[in-house]
């Protein structure tokens, strides 16, 4: 029996062509008992070119997705590092925010300026009433004239407010000098009458710290009070992170110090986080007590070597810099060097910086009255604290240093608290063994400058002629 009923029989084929379904009706005929149907294969030829194009597009898409995925993995791996870096940069930039907040680049707030002047006039009037002199009279006249200038600012904008602020600082410093520095001070100290330090010798003492060179931060020297019978040499290393210390080593003589024998170690606090722990390379031994910057505070501590009692006083000023806000820097910052103690012919001093001083060095006098530690006077300088590498005081003059090279520091600035005058023209070299300077201090007993130089202990002779 034939599989085709007639030559005109039609065969229905369903073909898939170029991505769309299509039906064709084709006539067939019977040949040798078989149904023969001519079919045009071009109607359903496989779209090779389109397939290759789509395949390339898919491969490209797959590569792009893989690339994006790899970038996401790298980003997720580096994100914590970038966040940590950002936090570090933010912390490092924080001390500079005061430049905008405190008006360094803008005019002072007139009301605040007027309040400061009003207080200054009252202080000068009281001072003039207590010890009237031509100097206090001149101060009163200048303060009155300055107040008139400020009053005019409320109506006219003809005066430079920064200049007025500088004048105000100068008058306040002069008032502090009149109040706290005896007129005959220079005459009782012949070497101080000669003026500023004119030269500094090569090191007269060079010794590695008995604690080892790994203790790169700390302070050392000779007991500095001229009227004391104690003649100890001392070392105070910062052991915890080169930032905090609790140990003071005493030597009864220079010979013992040089031979590292017959020493006494005194523990000042129970732990490195105790409130009486030493912070930063800040200590000075004055009489029977060690004075230093107290742990994570704006306080100065006085540790009595005999009774072990600790007295404290808070530094004055608007926003005292602590916790690396205003450390010594210039070339490289010295951690936790915000507050620096020293002693000279006039007694005890402390150097630091505040937001109110716009980061400039501030120097205050300290006094122990037998019962309490007090801040008696404060001066503001015009030198930015983070632009100096260290500082010390001699004959009531603050000297600041800067980095020269790995073997030399340079004394470049001086501020005289007795006259409120400063000098930027100094160029006194200080030879050193190592690169970093942790502390500098002057001793009025031998007129030597003591340097803690990255684990090396150096001393120099200061010359006033």
Could you state, in order of their start, the residue ranges of all structural domains in the chain? 10-46, 62-100, 102-180, 190-463
Tell me, which fold does domain 190-463 have in CATH? Neuraminidase (2.120.10)
Q: State residue 359's pLDDT score.
A: 94
Report d(CA 377, CA 363) in Å as an integer.
8
Q: Which residue has the tokens 């005292």?
A: 320
Q: Which residue has the tokens 């037998």?
A: 370
Higher-scoring residue by pLDDT: 426, 28: 426
Q: What is the mean pLDDT of residues 55-68?
A: 78
Contact status, residue 444 vs residue 343, Cβ threshold 8 Å: yes
Q: Which of 286, 279, 390, 386 is nearest to 343 (CA)?
A: 286
What confidence tens digit (pLDDT) does each residue in 309-319 have?
Answer: 999 999 998 89
Query: How sure is the predictor about 144, in pLDDT bands with cuts at 50, 70 and 90?
Result: confident
Q: Which of 125, 166, 169 is nearest to 144 (CA)?
A: 125
What confidence tens digit (pLDDT) does each residue in 99-141 have?
Answer: 444 444 344 455 666 677 677 777 777 766 776 677 767 777 7
N- to C-terminal Cα separation, the chain: 140
For residue 78, pLDDT beyond 90: no
Higher-scoring residue by pLDDT: 49, 71: 49
The segment with the largest mean pLDDT, out of 40-49, 125-134, 297-306, is: 297-306
Q: State residue 57's pLDDT score.
A: 81
Report d(CA 222, CA 454) in Å as an integer.
19
Contact status, residue 267 vs residue 247, Cβ threshold 8 Å: yes
Question: Between vectors from CA 393 to CA 384 and to CA 187, what angle results, nearest 5°?
Answer: 130
Q: State residue 111's pLDDT score.
A: 63
């Amino acid at each position: 029996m034939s599989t085709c009923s007639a030559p005109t029989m039609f065969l229905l084929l369903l073909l898939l062509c170029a991505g769309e379904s299509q039906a064709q009706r084709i006539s067939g005929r019977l040949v040798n008992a078989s149904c023969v149907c001519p079919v045009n294969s071009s109607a359903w030829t496989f779209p090779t070119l389109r397939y290759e194009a789509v395949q390339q597009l898919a491969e490209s898409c797959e590569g792009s997705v893989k690339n994006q995925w790899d970038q996401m993995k790298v980003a997720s791996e580096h994100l914590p590092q970038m966040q940590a870096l950002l936090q570090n940069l933010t912390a490092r930039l924080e001390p500079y925010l005061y430049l905008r907040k405190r008006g360094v680049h803008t005019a002072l707030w007139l009301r605040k300026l007027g309040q400061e002047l009003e207080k200054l006039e009252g202080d000068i009037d009281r001072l003039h009433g207590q010890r009237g002199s031509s100097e206090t009279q001149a101060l009163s006249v200048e303060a009155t004239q300055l107040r008139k200038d400020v009053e005019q600012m409320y109506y006219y904008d003809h005066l430079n407010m920064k200049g007025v602020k500088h004048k105000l600082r100068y008058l306040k410093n002069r008032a502090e000098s009149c109040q706290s520095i005896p007129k005959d001070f220079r005459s009782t100290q012949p070497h101080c009458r000669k003026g500023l330090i004119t030269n500094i010798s090569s090191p007269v003492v060079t010794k590695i710290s008995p604690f080892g060179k790994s203790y790169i931060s700390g302070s050392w020297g000779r007991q500095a009070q001229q009227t004391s019978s104690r003649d100890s040499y001392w070392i105070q290393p910062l052991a915890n992170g080169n930032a905090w210390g609790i140990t003071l080593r005493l030597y009864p003589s220079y010979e013992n110090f040089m031979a590292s024998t017959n020493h006494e170690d005194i523990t000042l606090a129970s732990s490195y986080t105790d409130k009486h722990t030493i912070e930063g390379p800040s200590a000075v031994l004055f009489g029977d007590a060690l004075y230093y910057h107290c742990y994570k505070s704006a306080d100065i501590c006085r540790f009595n070597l005999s009774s072990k009692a600790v007295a404290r006083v808070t530094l004055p000023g608007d926003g005292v810099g602590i916790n690396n806000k205003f450390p010594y820097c210039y070339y490289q910052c010295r951690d936790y060097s915000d507050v620096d103690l020293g002693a000279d012919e006039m007694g005890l001093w402390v150097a630091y910086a505040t937001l109110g001083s716009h980061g400039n060095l501030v120097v205050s006098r300290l006094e122990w009255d037998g019962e309490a530690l007090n801040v008696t006077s404060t001066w503001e300088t015009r030198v930015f604290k983070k632009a100096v590498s260290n500082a010390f005081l001699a004959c009531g003059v603050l000297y600041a240093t800067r980095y020269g090279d790995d073997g030399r520091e340079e004394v470049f600035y001086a501020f005289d608290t007795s006259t409120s005058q400063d000098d930027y023209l100094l160029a006194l070299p200080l030879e050193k063994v190592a690169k970093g300077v942790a502390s500098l201090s002057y001793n009025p007993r031998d007129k030597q400058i003591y340097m803690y130089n990255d684990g090396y202990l150096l001393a120099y002779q200061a010359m006033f002629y």
